[in-house]
Amino acid sequence: MSLAVRIINKSSNELPKYATSLSAGVDLRADLSDDIILKPLQRVLIPTGLFIELPEGYEAQIRPRSGLAYKHGISVLNSPGTIDADYRGEIKVILVNLSNDEFVIKTGERICQMVIAKHESVQFELVDSLENTERGSGGFGHTGKK
């Protein structure tokens, strides 16, 4: 099954596409007039030249690319970033350099993945208590290291 998503491409890059038949995400590419040097611990907003129209009940999640993260320490800062169905602006990606080395971003470079996902809207019901569970209010690390 395939979901129709309207897209405008103002970049010189090809449209996003799935690398394999079972890929969950598509790679997005940088749309730059000049290379950007991303210094260690620096963050930068990278334009893609893409604009999308998602159906109601869907979001686009922007996630790091595993190769960039592992090989170069480049990640998406607000990972996963969310693009709401009512947003019509250009998709821009906040990249951060978590390595000790400078990283050069060139136009056309695959900078992140975009996953289109269905989501639910909820109505919050104000109550005085919640049902008990085995976990209860145990928070971060409550199950130990092993």
Domain count, the chain: 1
- Residue 92 belongs to what domain range? 22-118
What is the pLDDT, as a whole number, of residue 120?
Answer: 94
Among the listed residues 67, 74, 60, the one whose alpha carbon sits nearest the alpha carbon of residue 6: 60
Q: Is residue 106 situated within a structural domain? A: yes
Residues near 104 by Cβ (< 8 Å), separated by ≥ 6?
Answer: 35, 36, 37, 38
pLDDT confidence of 145, banded at 50, 70, 90?
Answer: confident
3-state SS class at 95? strand
What is the pLDDT, as a whole number, of residue 33?
Answer: 97
Distance of alpha carbon 26 from alpha carbon 95, whole angstroms:
17
Q: Does position 141 have pLDDT exceeding 80, yes or no?
A: no
Q: Does position 59 have pLDDT exceeding 80, yes or no?
A: yes
Q: What token pair was written down for 34?
A: 């000049």
Q: Is residue 27 situated within a structural domain? A: yes
What is the pLDDT, as a whole number, of residue 138?
Answer: 78
Among the listed residues 21, 19, 18, 5, the one whose alpha carbon sits nearest the alpha carbon of residue 91: 5
Q: Is residue 61 situated within a structural domain? A: yes
pLDDT in tens, 64-79: 999 999 999 999 999 9
What is the pLDDT, as a whole number, of residue 146?
Answer: 73
pLDDT in tens, 8-18: 999 999 999 99
Distance of alpha carbon 92 from the chain centroid:
10
Q: Is residue 145 situated within a structural domain? A: no
CB atoms within 10 A of CB 83: 19
Helical (H) or strand (E) element with 66: helix 66-72
Place of tokens 């790679």: 27
Q: Bridge-partner residues for 43, per DSSP?
A: 96
CATH number of the domain residue 93 falls in: 2.70.40.10
Q: Is residue 139 situated within a structural domain? A: no
Q: Is residue 59 situated within a structural domain? A: yes
